[in-house]
Structure 1
Amino acid sequence: MVCLLVIDDTLLVKRSRYAVAAVFCVHGSVTGSFATRVPWIQEHAGVSAGQLGLALAFPALGAALMMPLAARVSHRLGTRTALRGLLALWTLALILPSLAPGLLTLCAALLIYGGTAGMADVAMNALGVEVEHRLKKSIMSGLHGLWSVGALLGSAVGTVAAHAGLSAQVHHAVAAVVLTVVGAVVCQFVLNIHPEDDEEPPARFALPPKSALLIGAVGFCAVFAEGASLDWSAVYLRDILDSSAGVAAGATTGFALTMAIARITGDAVVDRFGAVRTVRWSGVIAALGGLLVVLAPNAIAAMAGFGLIGVGIAVVVPLAFAAAGHAEGNSSHAIAGVATITYASGLVAPSIIGGIAQASNLTISFIVVTALAAGLAVFAPVLRTRSHTRVAD
């Protein structure tokens, strides 16, 4: 009987792993669906490029404000019901931006869009950490890799819809319905975890614990390098190395592709070498990539450098979430703290890079990126995890 119970629990956890992976893919698909229709949304709302830039800051603001609430929702409802509800709010929020007729309504829509995204993000990462803990092997890198796959799928469908002349309102309404249904189905198979009877509910809003601040600082370095490379790699090749538009665009594509591949395959590396050694060597690889970008004599060398940055930073954020989830105290609260810091990094990185470039040049900007990448190797030990236990049915 004991053996059968162990087998049943093992099957339950394995099933939950695939279900959580599907949740990550759904979450990424919403982002990809939105990103491809931003030009349509801008035209429909009648906003300028500067106004659009202002509006696009609101998702990060909404996420930062709402992330701490995810822990309380999960505590009250249990992880399965909470994830199902929060994911549905996020998929349905995809409809809102395309309905906005002006700047104010677009900002409000994107604030809700970002808030629901952040809460679902915290819930699914917390559950992924729990499944990883029970499987006793790394899965977080692969989960984030599947998020990238979902974003690519959403982008592909969005590109087809745009070329077909389909309005974003129709496209997003159909995508939201499909993704909501898929999300509701796969959430049926995730672990349903409840707090201990004597466990205090987390505060509605509270400062992140000290451990989350340290872990978030590591995530900040990685996401800063990611945001800088995604938004500025093509510009770097065009302005610094005088490359054609097609070659310059290839740098961004190559960076995103290498990072996605590294995330999908990264769990095997983490299982073999551990989180600390993996991030330490990842920082070395990313720093070498940044150095190659700075010293590159031609476009090929620079593209190789951006590829190395992608490989180097790929597993850092998943491991930061894993470390936060295994830290002392409420895992969702710690993950929310780390997520808030990393979201902020992704928001400020492109503008900081642009500001440094304006004051000097892009080469100096990527010297800063290289230094932050090297910092990953130095501060990797803060990602050392501790075990924890919770109750599930």
Structure 2
Amino acid sequence: MAVKSMDASVYRKRAVYGRWAVACAFFFNGFLVGSWAPQIPVFMTRLNISEFTLGLMILIFGVGALVAMPWCGYLIGRFGSRAVVKGFAFFCSFSLLLVALAPNLITAAPALFLFGAVIGAMDVAMNANAVEVEKQLSRAVMSSSHGFWSLGGFAGGALGGFLIEAQGHLIHAIVVTAIAIVLGLVAFRHMITEDKPVVHEKQKLSFPTNPLIYLIGLMALFSMVPEGSVLDWAALYLQQEKGADIATAGLAFAAFSGTMSIMRFLGDGVRNRFGAVRTLRISALIGASGLLVASIAPTPWIAILAFAFSGLGIANMVPIAFSAAGNQPGTSSGIALSMVTLMGYSGILVAPSAIGFVGGRTGFGPIYMVLAALLIVVFLMANLAATADRAKN
């Protein structure tokens, strides 16, 4: 009995270490994405490109991520999520530096495609690893794991603005690379993995037949488009339309990510108390009001505060949508989640490029006003999230 008790203790200790290792992976990924945000205005200036061309570059980043995600699923089945996270994290560490070193569009385009591909593939793998941690700990860690992603985005955005202002974009990219390498060496060796990875060589592609899945996917899409738009365009919006310097402009996404991280750490408790539908409705209203104020803000600092307020609302909208999809009766949770995830991630990876095309002609103030309206649509659709509460039963 003592041996079995010791084995159980060792197994749980490994799982606890694995929980913090996967949290570090989320922070690592978010830190790199957040570090890209303050690089965007410099990237546009040093390559002397228009908003239209910058939109194409951001689209290339998104396409890279979406192309890599399905292949990552195969790799996880063959090698396990731990190996895939560590492998892609290695390439992620140097990806921003490659973009910063690119001297022209011919080299910047493939660098951004690779950046998006390794970030997207690592995203899939670390989510899969978080699921395995949940199984071994017998408790949820997904919401707080996404909180660590937002915390990483906050750290990357906050550091980036000031470091670029003081030392330039290349020194910033080198520092980010060094931090990423240290994080990987210290934490990722503690990651756990699946006991027996399985390769599904003849797995067939199928789509949900339940139309509610696609409506929930639409909610995820409308919830993630604002997040991608703040990441890719808020700094440029504050710099060009509100007269902010680079350091101040970089705080827009940092503030947004900071409040998102706080609410993601608190999100499970809020949802358990108020229920998924009510939480989603309140969240949508908070997110919409923040974006609306940001769109008409007279000063950069009011806009930054408004983006931060919107982050409080947007933080838990996508987790609720994912949970609602995974608990749809009569539908495989895997099939439902794959579709909702694909629809949702297109909002953060692809839609912002189209927003850039429009924003270059209309300005970004009206864009954020329209995004506020999208969150009102989610508010009206909130009843579809009722099945999210099945996860607690």
Q: What TM-score bracket applies, with the shorter chain setting the length? A: 0.7 to 0.9
* Structure 1 residues 315 and 227, CA gap change in structure 2 (3 angstroms): same
Match of 1:348 in 2: 351
Q: Is the 8 A contact 1:149 1:260 kept in 2?
A: yes
Q: 1:371 aligns with which of 358, 368, 376?
A: 376
Match of 2:132 in 1: 130
Match of 2:261 in 1: 260
Please give the alpha-carbon distance, in whole angstroms, between the structure 1 residues aligned to 2:11 and 2:284. Answer: 39
Greater Cα shift, 83-92 or 222-231: 222-231
* Structure 1 residues 68 and 280, CA gap change in structure 2 (3 angstroms): farther
Q: Is the 8 A contact 1:221 1:376 kept in 2?
A: no
Match of 1:35 in 2: 37
Question: Which string of whole-angstrom CA distances, capped at 9 and with x for unpartnered residues, describes residues 39-68 of structure 1?
Answer: 333344343333222111111111111101
TM value normalised by structure 2:
0.76
How far the C-alpha of 1:227 sits from its partner, in A, is 4.4
Question: Which string of whole-angstrom CA distances, capped at 9 and with x for unpartnered residues, describes residues 137-175 of structure 1?
Answer: 33222111211221222233323432333452x442443
Match of 1:24 in 2: 26
* Structure 1 residues 117 and 173, CA gap change in structure 2 (3 angstroms): same
For structure 1, the 5+ residue unaligned runs are: 388-393
Greater Cα shift, 124-133 or 354-363: 354-363
Match of 2:285 in 1: 287
Please give the alpha-carbon distance, in whole angstroms, between the structure 2 residues aligned to 1:127 and 1:97. Answer: 28
Q: 1:86 aligns with which of 61, 83, 88?
A: 88
* Paired AA for residue 200 in structure 2: E
User: Does structure 1 residue 223 correspond to structure 2 residue 224?
Assistant: yes
Q: Is the 8 A contact 1:218 1:379 kept in 2?
A: no
Instruction: Please show how residues 45-84 of structure 1 align to structure 2 within 5 Å.
Output: 45-84=47-86
* Structure 1 residues 176 and 337, CA gap change in structure 2 (3 angstroms): farther
CA RMSD between the two structures = 4.2
How far the C-alpha of 1:16 sits from its partner, in A, is 1.0
For structure 2, the 5+ residue unaligned runs are: none
Secondary structure of residue in 1 paired with 2:190: coil
* Structure 1 residues 70 and 202, CA gap change in structure 2 (3 angstroms): farther
Match of 1:156 in 2: 158
Q: 1:7 aligns with which of 9, 18, 22?
A: 9
* Structure 1 residues 183 and 295, CA gap change in structure 2 (3 angstroms): closer
Secondary structure of residue in 2 paired with 1:379: helix
* Structure 1 residues 85 and 334, CA gap change in structure 2 (3 angstroms): farther
User: Does structure 1 residue 116 correspond to structure 2 residue 111?
Assistant: no
* Equivalenced residues, count: 374
Q: Is the 8 A contact 1:289 1:305 kept in 2?
A: no
* Structure 1 residues 325 and 90, CA gap change in structure 2 (3 angstroms): farther
* Structure 1 residues 146 and 162, CA gap change in structure 2 (3 angstroms): same
Match of 1:390 in 2: none
User: Does structure 1 residue 317 correspond to structure 2 residue 322?
Assistant: no
Please give the alpha-carbon distance, in whole angstroms, between the structure 2 residues aligned to 1:107 and 1:74. Answer: 27
Secondary structure of residue in 2 paired with 1:187: helix
Match of 2:142 in 1: 140
TM value normalised by structure 1:
0.76
* Structure 1 residues 24 and 287, CA gap change in structure 2 (3 angstroms): same
* Paired AA for residue 288 in structure 2: G
Secondary structure of residue in 1 paired with 2:33: helix
Question: Which string of whole-angstrom CA distances, capped at 9 and with x for unpartnered residues, describes residues 192-224 of structure 1?
Answer: 214466x62476x95665687565333212113
Match of 2:200 in 1: 200
Q: Is the 8 A contact 2:93 2:177 kept in 1?
A: yes
